[in-house]
Amino acid sequence: MRLTTFILSLALPLALASCSNPESGQTAVTPDGVREATTIDFARVANYASPELPAYFDRTVSVLDNSPASNPPDDRIATLGRVLFYDLRLSTNDRASCASCHQQSFGFTDPMRFSNGISSAATTEAHSMRLANLRYWQPGTAFWDRRAKTVEDQVSDPIHSLVELGWGGAAGDIDDLIAKLDRTEYYPELFEWAFGTSKISEPRIQRALAQFVRAMVSSSSRWDEGYAKVFSAEAPNRALDVDLPNFTPQQNRGRYLFMTGVDRGGAGCSACHLPPTFALEGNAGSNGLDAGETRRFKAPSLRNVGLTGPYMHDGRFETLEQVIDFYVGGIEDGSALDPRLKQGSRPQRLTLSGADRAALVAFLNTLNDPVLIADERFGDPFRREPFGQ
């Protein structure tokens, strides 16, 4: 399928999959409780498990998929994850949801440096990470500091955070959350539809949320549109070194700098931020934000990086221009610094003109994906107005 056709297909109200589920044997009739609270239609199940992707999302990409065998993609489970992701009831005071800090219009991040959860009086300690192409990070750990072993582990962390969703303190623990969800008119029905029984448990919540965020695959940017026209699996470097026909000269200059090693006059960005997913290379070290850094930070995919600042784990940079300036001349040495950011025994220093720095920013903005940030499959499923009005 041509990329333009693929993009148009994603722009339709919903990409649909089969409405049958042999495992649970459930019918396609949407229960009243689900229908009145959400726009979910059991007869029209969105396709999360098997999206049609460009040809260059081939085995070189699929081998990076961190989906565990214990949680295989399933459209119904991911749909449940969509409801959970946007539900304010996941917080102790109905004030916050996963989507509060991961906003679709901003590439599933937060324009604030640090995010509020159940109270505006407290904020998170790190900047909210973009979620696109999260599934293509190996070894699959999550958070900036990689403290969660899997995405499934990660999605529980905000639930147990007293700042984010608030469970674990005076308002109650995970059992109280499960009881709260069980009292709704829609979750028992949704869990039965997704899993075959109405039992609500933390492992099932983890599976559903992890599937939903892993389904956020970005492949419809301006870069994708151009790369699809030149890609060949047999071409040298899979044609990543070829100018793209839909790019301006400035964007192609930025593309060259991004894709080309420092030893050949480029900036070497693609050595760590791997196209076509632009997710971080699995063995990457830290980027030298602070002198003496011992922690190996990870970073999200660069997809949609131009939609909003701030940037880095602590949101210290407000603009992409500041990010580029840092990589040109601000990298600090430390035991965790990635070797690719060194020149000999010292931190890398690049010689890039103002025009080249602007070109890199222009290229990064070609990674913005207008389809993903408007795709109804990843939008709010709740009826925020009274049903029927």
Tell me the whole-structure pTM to 2 decimals.
0.92
Average pLDDT over residues 262-282: 97
CATH of residue 339's domain is 1.10.760
β-sheet bridge partners, residue 17: 45
pLDDT bucket at 206, cuts 50 / 70 / 90: very high
pLDDT of residue 27: 54
pLDDT of residue 2: 40
Residue 13 has pLDDT above 70, yes or no: no
244 and 356 co-located in one domain: yes
Q: Is residue 372 part of a domain?
A: no
Taking alpha carbons only, the member of 171, 300, 99, 10 closest to residue 311 is 300
210 and 254 co-located in one domain: no
Report the share of the chain in percent with pLDDT over 90. Answer: 91
pLDDT bucket at 28, cuts 50 / 70 / 90: confident
Taking alpha carbons only, the member of 389, 356, 304 closest to residue 102 is 304
- Give the structural domain span for 232: 222-365
105 and 167 co-located in one domain: yes
pLDDT of residue 384: 78
What whole-number distance in Å separates Cα of residue 117 and Cα of residue 98? 9
Average pLDDT over residues 283-300: 96
pLDDT digits (tens, 9 = 90+) for 325-364: 999 999 999 999 999 999 999 999 999 999 999 999 999 9
Final residue belonging to a domain, choices 215, 240, 267? 215
pLDDT digits (tens, 9 = 90+) for 168-180: 999 999 999 999 9
Q: Is residue 309 part of a domain?
A: yes
CB 262 within 8 A of CB 304: no
Q: Is residue 155 part of a domain?
A: yes
CB 166 within 8 A of CB 118: yes
pLDDT bucket at 16, cuts 50 / 70 / 90: very low
Average pLDDT over residues 183-187: 98
